[in-house]
């Protein structure tokens, strides 16, 4: 890594030792400073910058960036609070079930990867030892994440195929790239950054997978081209994931997308997002919320907006809301004690309570 870095720095007249001075002590003496980024992985190009990451004991910083441009290339310094990063490394791997959990898990992977795969420039002995531990665990962590993402995107793609085949193809592409990233991570190429995936596969000598990479990116241009692409992508994903211990049937978890709310006027419910678009749910329609003998209409609307269960049991209203972009999709493997359709999952609203976003307005 140091060789890659020095080759990048040399044309700019910058020495390896100069980089440490870009990390300021305003947040206290850093516990650990690492250089990271594509340059150190040997993937750098003329658009690359150098990333420095510093662990500090200052509760004001969580993920604080400062950039410098005075060396002829960008240096991005990222300060991370020590308790946060230690907790991030110690937490078990739990599949995210909501958007905030997904964002937190993605951020954790990215931050840990920077330290785990970076080049230490300075650090206390205990933090240098911590980094070695983080490095030893990281490839498995990355492979776990990408496998989960491959499953999530594939489930999304399958849901989209009938109504939106072109969009389904995009999600198969995402599932394929995630599956390839999982294979690369498991083989030791765990650096996070899907744009570098093709180079990682090349370095692994996997010409077969590089061909898959190209094929996944060769997306259909029209709905007429989508079926062939979908058929190929399904087969390629089956082959890529054949050795994985996946669930017999994925479990989906849906929650309102950011900005999704319910407006109610008399017996009509509009599930809308940011006032830009929505779907109206009416209790009088066959099988709609509020049908005789079922839960109250408001509880039924909440129930289709926040739902967990096997993908095959996904309520039709929930599917429609998902396809309309009003809900966030998470997918996990079935586990002992997994909630079944209609049950309330942890963090889920109980019948009769307002869903996140809430039912607004009454007649």
Partner 1 sequence: MRIRAVPEPRRWAAFRCYGIYGQIMEVQAFVEDLEGALDAGQLPVTKFAGLSVVRYCLSVRALLAGGFPPDVGDATADLFAGLSDAETGAALTVIRRLAEAEDMAAARAAADGVFAYVRDFERDLGFAEKPPSVRRAEGLFPALRLAREIIPVNQAAALPLALPAEWLPQAGAGKAGAGQAGAGQAGAGGA
Site for partner 1 in 143-172 (CB under 8 A): 152-153, 155-156, 159-160, 164, 166-167, 170-171
Per CB under 8 A, 83 contacts partner 1: no
Per CB under 8 A, 334 contacts partner 1: no
Site for partner 1, residues 288 to 317, rule: CB under 8 A: none
Of the candidates 59, 214, 35, the residue with the CA atom closest to the CA atom of residue 114: 35
Q: Segment contacting partner 1 (CB under 8 A): 75-83, 136-144, 305-313, 349-357?
A: 75-83
| Residue 205 CB coordination number (10 Å) | 10
To the nearest whole angstrom, how small is the minimum distance from the Cβ of residue 297 to partner 1? 25
Q: Segment contacting partner 1 (CB under 8 A): 3-11, 115-123, 219-227, 352-360?
A: 219-227
Alpha helices (H) along the chain: 2-9, 82-90, 99-117, 125-160, 165-186, 197-203, 207-217, 226-240, 297-305, 316-323
Distance of CA 58 to CAs 23, 127, 159, 277, 291, Å? 14, 16, 45, 43, 55
Instruction: For residue 335, give the H/E element and its range.
Output: none
- Of 28, 227, 235, 258, the one binding partner 1 (CB under 8 A) is 258
Residue with tokens 């996990």: 332
- Of 93, 217, 231, 350, the one binding partner 1 (CB under 8 A) is 217
| Residue 232 CB coordination number (10 Å) | 16
Site for partner 1, residues 55 to 74, rule: CB under 8 A: 60-70, 74
Strand bridging mode 75-81 / 268-273: unpaired
Nearer to partner 1, 89 or 322 (CB): 322
Nearer to partner 1, 299 or 330 (CB): 330
Of the candidates 192, 193, 213, the residue with the CA atom closest to the CA atom of residue 201: 213
Give dist(CA 134, CA 112) in Å, integer.
7
Site map (CB under 8 A) of partner 1, residues 86-115, x = contact: -------------x--xx--x---------
To the nearest whole angstrom, how small is the minimum distance from the Cβ of residue 136 to partner 1? 27
Per CB under 8 A, 187 contacts partner 1: no
- Of 11, 275, 293, 346, the one binding partner 1 (CB under 8 A) is 275
Nearer to partner 1, 127 or 153 (CB): 153
To the nearest whole angstrom, how small is the minimum distance from the Cβ of residue 318 to partner 1? 11
Give dist(CA 232, CA 134) in Å, integer.
37
Per CB under 8 A, 218 contacts partner 1: yes
């Amino acid at each position: 890594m140091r060789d890659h870095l020095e080759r990048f720095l040399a044309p700019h007249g910058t020495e390896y030792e100069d980089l440490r001075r870009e990390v300021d002590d305003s947040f206290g003496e850093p516990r650990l400073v690492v250089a990271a980024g594509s340059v150190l992985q040997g993937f750098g190009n003329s658009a690359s910058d150098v990333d420095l990451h510093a662990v500090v004991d200052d509760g004001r910083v969580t993920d604080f960036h400062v950039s410098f441009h005075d060396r002829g290339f960008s240096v991005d310094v990222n300060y991370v609070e020590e308790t946060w990063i230690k907790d991030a490394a110690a937490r078990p791997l739990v599949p995210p079930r909501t958007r905030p959990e997904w964002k937190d898990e993605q951020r954790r992977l990215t931050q840990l990867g920077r330290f785990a795969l970076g080049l230490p420039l300075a650090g206390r002995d205990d933090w240098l030892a911590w980094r070695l531990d983080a490095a030893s665990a990281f490839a498995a962590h990355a492979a776990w994440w990408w496998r989960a993402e491959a499953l999530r995107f594939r489930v999304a793609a399958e849901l989209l195929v009938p109504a939106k085949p072109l969009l389904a193809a995009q999600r198969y592409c995402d599932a394929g790239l995630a599956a390839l990233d999982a294979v690369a991570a498991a083989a030791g190429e765990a650096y996070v950054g899907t744009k570098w995936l093709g180079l990682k596969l090349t370095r692994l000598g996997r010409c077969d997978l590089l061909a898959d990479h190209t094929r996944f990116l060769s997306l259909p241009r029209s709905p007429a081209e989508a079926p062939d692409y979908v058929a190929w992508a399904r087969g390629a994903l089956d082959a890529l994931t054949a050795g994985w211990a996946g669930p017999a049937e994925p479990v989906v978890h849906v929650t309102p997308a950011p900005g999704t709310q319910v407006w109610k006027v008399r017996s009509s419910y509009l599930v809308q997002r940011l006032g830009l678009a929505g779907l109206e749910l009416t209790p009088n329609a066959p099988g709609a919320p509020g049908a005789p003998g079922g839960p109250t209409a408001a509880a039924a609307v909440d129930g289709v907006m926040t739902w967990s269960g096997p993908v095959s049991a996904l309520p039709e209203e929930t599917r429609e809301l998902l396809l309309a972009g009003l809900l966030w999709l998470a997918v996990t493997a079935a586990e002992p004690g997994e909630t079944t359709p209609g049950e309330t999952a942890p963090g889920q609203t109980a019948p009769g309570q307002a869903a996140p976003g809430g039912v607004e307005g009454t007649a």
